[in-house]
Structure 1
């Protein structure tokens, strides 16, 4: 991959999933699993590295900065656009960022 070192390539985020926990608590993990397995090469752990808050964040005071860092590093932004997501303050902030 052009210009990326092995460590950077291994830790990159391919997809950031933005969703409503209330509405998409079953769909978001299924999409994450599917994207991780999509066309996976035999020697790789996963095809794509997918960021989802419930699996990739720990409880911390820097939650906002962790989300912003993940959004900055992600190659793609995937929005699960449910009515509940449209009403979510956090989803709106992720979109605006």
Structure 2
């Protein structure tokens, strides 16, 4: 039977992988390229202002390793994009499944 320590390590690895996949999914879906609600390409700073997230946070999301992205950040991006959380997570699940493992 696995030890409590190995369970914690596995959960850390899974969480890191989920965050990486979430960030990569957001980057591919919404940041390639950055655009406003009219579909016009805008700068990262303009996008940042529009959704109320710092430009440095957007840079962290764009990093291929991702980062520990808060739910409020995902919500802010979806709200700016006029995209429901239900649709967002449904598409994420279709792409990555429901049992992400290292």
**Greater helix content:** 2
Structure with the largest fraction of strand = 1
Structure of higher RCO (CA pairs closer than 8 Å, 6+ residues apart):
1
* Rg (Cα) greater in structure: 2
Question: Normalized against structure 2, the TM-score is what?
Answer: 0.30
TM-score by length of 1: 0.31
